[in-house]
């Protein structure tokens, strides 16, 4: 049987090497979406790996009877018709654990940016820093610390728990909501400590989380978790972060909350209209922005590549 794999959105070198050692031929040359099915059939690929760019919908699945496995390098599989593929006998795998810490660190990149106005400061300093230094110094002089603040985490799976660990390290109070989990035991690895520190975090109701949190970060696979109804229940001056899925925080309601002052700041890595986010979101002075890079660290991509390769070898080797 052919053991050819198309890594259409790329794969880390270590993962590629593992597959090749196991006898697979791995092709990393990008195939355009409209030519994907033709390429799979023409070159007899039995495995296809993707990240978020390539879509594997019913039309591709139906057109490729020789495809045995679809692998998603990352967590979310909303770019794959997972159940339909599995109904056709195709194995579908992903790497949910590999990118958790990278995503969690980006949450805090946005939080630190928000509380110290780094996004706006980095826009203004190159333009006005040499002529309005004292004015800008005064403008950005009302920052706050994360220490002592309450962070509310909606969705307390792997990523939510990784966020909680960093928050605890920053001296924050952690509260969480997850309808599928009553309690999580977090093992904190502290450099220099001989043993891990274990902390139990019990989940609470969504209502309590909304009313108690100074900052809220959302880690759910989709849907509209935060709309004007939820925003109305939050503390004045709350900070919101979305590194999960575009639309989990309703963007129109977010802008309304920012403009009214109910929401002090927001950090967004994902957007409702990717890859063409709305100009209103992109130009808002109280939103910290990144272009869907939650898992885009060298360390995460290495872990993803290795985990994905292990799964392919296990299923097809």
- Fold: same for 4-98+298-316 and 100-289: yes
What average pLDDT does range 306-315 have in this prediction?
Answer: 96
Q: What angle do CA 226, 232, 237 make, to 5 degrees?
A: 90
Of 257, 279, 275, residue with least CA distance to 266: 257
Strands (E), 1-51: 4-7, 25-27, 45-50
Which residues are marked as active site? 245, 274, 292
Using pLDDT thresholds of 50, 70 and 90, give the confidence band for residue 143. very high
Note the pLDDT tens digit of each residue in 222-279.
Answer: 899 999 999 999 999 999 999 999 999 999 999 999 999 999 999 999 999 999 999 9
CA atoms within 13 A on the CB side of 83: 0
Q: How far is CA 270 from CA 51, 160, 305, 310, in A?
A: 15, 16, 23, 29
> How many CB atoms lie under 10 A from the CB of residue 81?
22
**What CATH topology corresponds to 4-98+298-316?**
Rossmann fold (3.40.50)
Its pTM stands at 0.90
Q: Hunting for tokens 């990352």 — which residue is that?
A: 74
Would you list the domain boundaries of the chain? 4-98+298-316, 100-289
Tens-digit pLDDT profile for residues 162-187: 999 999 999 999 999 999 999 999 99
Instruction: Please tell me the predicted confidence (pLDDT) of residue 76.
Output: 84
Closest CA to 199 of 190, 191, 207, 209: 190
pLDDT digits (tens, 9 = 90+) for 190-204: 999 989 999 999 999
Q: Residue 1 pLDDT > 60, yes or no? A: no
For position 204, what pLDDT does the model report?
98
Q: Does domain 100-289 have CATH number 3.30.390.50?
A: no
């Amino acid at each position: 049987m052919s053991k050819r794999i198309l890594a259409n959105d790329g794969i880390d070198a270590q993962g590629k090497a593992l597959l090749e050692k196991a006898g697979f031929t791995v092709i990393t040359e990008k195939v355009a979406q409209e030519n994907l099915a033709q390429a799979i059939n023409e070159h007899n690929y039995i495995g296809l790996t993707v990240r978020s760019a390539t879509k594997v919908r019913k039309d591709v699945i139906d057109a490729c009877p020789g495809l045995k496995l679809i692998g998603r390098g990352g967590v979310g599989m909303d770019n794959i018709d997972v159940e339909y593929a599995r109904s056709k006998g195709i194995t579908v795998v992903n790497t949910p654990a590999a990118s958790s810490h990278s995503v969690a660190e980006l949450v805090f990149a946005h939080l630190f940016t928000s509380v110290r106005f780094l996004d706006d400061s980095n826009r203004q300093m190159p333009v006005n820093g040499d002529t309005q230094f004292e004015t800008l110094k005064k403008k950005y002089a009302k920052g706050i610390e994360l220490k002592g603040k309450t962070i509310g985490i909606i969705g307390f799976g792997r990523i939510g728990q990784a966020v909680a660990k960093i928050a605890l390290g920053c001296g924050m109070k952690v509260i969480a909501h997850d309808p599928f989990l009553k309690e999580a035991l977090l093992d904190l690895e502290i450099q220099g400590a001989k043993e891990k520190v274990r902390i139990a975090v019990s989940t609470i109701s969504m209502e309590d989380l909304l009313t108690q949190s100074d900052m809220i970060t959302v880690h759910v696979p989709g849907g509209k978790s935060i709309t004007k109804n939820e925003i109305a229940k939050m503390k004045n001056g709350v900070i919101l972060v979305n590194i999960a899925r575009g639309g989990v925080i309703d963007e129109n309601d977010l802008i309304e909350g920012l403009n009214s002052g109910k929401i002090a700041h927001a950090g967004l890595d994902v957007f409702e209209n990717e890859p063409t986010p709305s100009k209103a979101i992109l130009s808002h002075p109280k939103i910290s922005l990144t272009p869907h890079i939650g898992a885009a660290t060298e360390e995460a991509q290495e872990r993803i590549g290795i985990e994905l390769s292990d799964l392919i070898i296990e299923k097809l080797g």
